[in-house]
Amino acid sequence: MPINTIDGYTFTVNDEGFFTNREEWSEPLAEILAGLVGIDDLTEAHWAALRFMRDDQAKTGMTPTLRRMQTQGKFDVKELFTLFPGKPAKKMSYLAGLPKPVGCV
Amino acid sequence: MSQVLILGAGTAGTMLANMLVKALPPDADITVVDKDDAHDYQPGYLFIPFGTSTPERVRKSRKAQLSPKVRLVMGTIQRVDPEARTVTLDNATLDYDWLIIATGTTPRPDMTDGLTDDRVWRKSAFDFYTLDGATALAKALKDFKGGKLLVHVTEMPIKCPVAPLEFVLLADDYFRHRRMRHLVDISYVTPLDGAFTKPVASKRLGGLLKDRSIRLVTDFAIERVDPEKRTINAYDGRALPFDLLVTVPTNMGAQFVTDSGLGDDLGFVPVDPKTLASTRYERVFAVGDASNIPTSKAGSVAHFAVHVFVENFAQAYAGKPMTHAFDGHANCFIESGRGKAMLLDFNYDTEPLTGVFPAPAVGPFSLLKESRLNHLGKLAFEQVYWQILLPGHPLPVPTLMTMAGKVPAEKTKEA
Ligand SMILES: Cc1cc2nc3c(=O)[nH]c(=O)nc-3n(C[C@H](O)[C@H](O)[C@H](O)COP(=O)(O)OP(=O)(O)OC[C@H]3O[C@@H](n4cnc5c(N)ncnc54)[C@H](O)[C@@H]3O)c2cc1C
C-alpha cells in the first residue's frame, strides 16, 4: 500500500488515494488536503459534514453515502455539491480520512 | 413443533423453503408468505425489451415451485413485531418462532423527482426491472425512430449491477440489426466513477463500451428529471437531454422493513455477513437481496448464501452454535451482445478474477472475457434456475469461492 507524506504527516492510502486507517487522520492534515482537492478554506459548514461522516463511520463501520448524509445527517445534497464541487462523495470521504463510500458492489 | 416463517417466495425464499424441508426435523412447520402466485424469472426481464423473451415465458406459479410440505400464505406483509414475534399481513396475523426475511428489493421510481410525471413515465422514460416496465419498453423500442438514448443508473446498490450494462450492449446490437444504429446516440450514465464497481471489471467493461461507440457519463448524481425539457439533471448542474430514457430506479427494501424499524436508510436488513443473522433481534435473519451484506444483490449470490445459511440455521434451530460462514461469493454472466457473454466471479475480499471458472460438466467459462460459451451459459441459466436452483438441488459449482483455475487480476498481464 502506498504511503503519503505531506508536511511531515504520514498516512497510508489505497490505490485510489483514500485513507486505509482513519486514525492516521487529523484536523490540521484535513486542512492541508483540502487545498489538494481545490478547496481553499474549510469553513464551519465543511466541518459539519466531515464531522458527521467520521462520527457515523465510527458507529456503523461504513462511510456514509450521500443519501445517508441527507436522510440521517439532514444535509442538503445540493449544498454539499457547492461546498465540495464536482465529486462531493469522494472529496468528503477523502477529507474525512475515510474509505470511499461503497454502497455498491 | 416450531414455526419457521419465511417472508417472500422469490428466488431466495423459495430455494430456502425447499431446502429446509430436508434440513430440519420433520415436525418443523415451514410457512412462506408472498403477495401473489406469480414467480418471475427476473433475469428474463433483460430480454423482453428486445423481443427475445416474452412476459408469458418468464412467469410461473409460485406454489408449483414449492415443496408440498411448505405452506404458502398469500397476503401483503405490513409489519413485523420482533418483540412479540408476530407478522401482520393485510388479511391475517401470523406467529413465528424463527423469522427469515426474503422480500428482496423493489425499484422505486417515485424516489426521483419528476420521473413518474405523466408527461414522461412509460412514454419516453422506462424501467426494465419490472415485468410491466420491460413489456412497455419493448413497444417503445420497436417504435423508436432514432435520437438520444440514455441508459441510466440512479443510485447504488441495485440488484444485478451488471444488468444496465448488459442492456446498453444489447441495445447497440438491437439497433445494428435494425440497420439504424447510426440514428441512435447511446450513452451509459452512472453515479459511479467508471463502468462498474469493481476496478478490474470496470476497465474491461469501459473498453467494451468504447468499442461499441457508447458514450460513458460518470459521477452523475441525479437530482431530478425535467419532464418539460426531457432532460435528466445532476446536482452538479449537468443536464442530459433524452428522446428515450431507460433508467434503473433507486432499489429499496420492502416498505414494511422500514415501517417495522428493521432496516437501514434504504430498507435493507442489517445482518452479520457470515451468518445472515439480524444484528439487532434474536431469531430474525435476512437472506437474498433483502439484507445489507456487502456483495452483489443477485440470484447467484442468494444461491451461494442459502446453501451456507441452511447448515447454520439447522444448527441454530437445534440450539447449537452456528459454525459455517458465507464469504460473499458472487458470479454472474454478463451478456455483452453479438452472441457473447463474460463471466464475473468475486467475493467479499477478492476482486473479480480472470482465468477460467472450473465448473465440471458445464465449463470452463472464461472469466471476464467475452465468449460464445458464456453466452450459452447465460441462456442455460434459465433452465438451471427453474429446475436446479429453486428446488434446492446442488449445482456442480462450489458454494464458497475456490481459486482453482482462476488468476487474481493483478497477476495477469493480458488474460
Ligand atoms: C433485469 C434483471 C436481471 C437480472 N439478472 C440476473 C442475473 O443474470 N443473474 C443473477 O444472479 N441475478 C440476476 N438478477 C437478480 C435476481 O433476480 C435477484 O437478485 C433475485 O431474484 C433475488 O432474490 P430474492 O429472493 O432476494 O428477491 P426476489 O426474488 O425479488 O423475491 C422477493 C419476494 O418478496 C415478495 N414481497 C416483497 N414485499 C412483500 C410484501 N410486503 N408482502 C408480500 N410479499 C412481498 C415479492 O413479491 C417477491 O416475490 C436480475 C434482476 C433483474 C431485475
| B198-206 LR contacts (CB < 8 Å, sep 24+) | B198/A105, B198/B344, B198/B346, B198/B351, B198/B352, B199/A15, B199/B351, B200/B351, B200/B352, B200/B354, B200/B368, B200/B409, B201/B344, B201/B351, B201/B352, B201/B368, B204/B342, B204/B368, B205/B165, B205/B334
Q: How far is B197 from chain A (nearest CA, A)?
A: 6
pLDDT score of A1: 65
DSSP letter string, A21-58: -GGG--HHHHHHHHHHTT-S---HHHHHHHHHHHHHHH
CA distance B221 to A104: 14
Q: Are residues B64 and B10 in the same domain?
A: yes
| Band of residue A14 on the pLDDT scale cut at 50, 70, 90 | confident
The residue of chain A nearest to residue B233, with distances taken between CA atoms, is: A78
User: Could you tell me the distance, in angstroms and rounded to a whole number, from the CA of residue B368 to the centre of ligand 1?
Assistant: 24
Does A103 reside within a domain? no
Q: Say whether B223 sits in a helix, a strand or coil.
A: strand
Q: Do A105 and B223 touch (CB under 8 A)?
A: no
CA distance A7 to A11: 11
pLDDT score of A104: 45
Is this structure's pTM higher than 0.90?
Answer: no
Q: What is the mean pLDDT of residues B7-29?
A: 97
Q: Is the peptide bond before B364 cis (omega within 30 degrees of 0)?
A: yes
Q: Are residues B235 and B122 in the same domain?
A: yes
| Domain stops at, among B263, B295, B317 | B317
Higher pLDDT, A104 or B10: B10
Q: Are residues B99 and B127 in the same domain?
A: no
The residue of chain A nearest to residue B265, with distances taken between CA atoms, is: A68
pLDDT score of B174: 95
Q: Is the pLDDT of residue A21 over 70?
A: yes
Count of domains in chain B? 3
pLDDT score of B413: 36
Count of domains in chain A? 1
Q: Which of B120, B83, B307, B161 is nearest to A103 (CA)?
A: B161
Catalytic annotation on A67?
no
Grid coordinates given for B395: 449445482
Share of chain B above pLDDT 90, in %: 67
A29: containing domain: 3-95
B62: containing domain: 3-105+253-317
- For residue A89, which residues of chain B lie inside 8 Å, CB to CB? 221
**ipTM of predicted assembly, 2 dp:** 0.76
Q: Do B161 and A104 touch (CB under 8 A)?
A: yes
Q: Are residues B139 and B213 in the same domain?
A: yes
pLDDT score of B98: 98
Does B322 reside within a domain? no
Q: Is the pLDDT of residue A16 over 70?
A: yes
CA distance B81 to B84: 6
Catalytic-labelled residue, pool A1, A102, A104, A105: A104
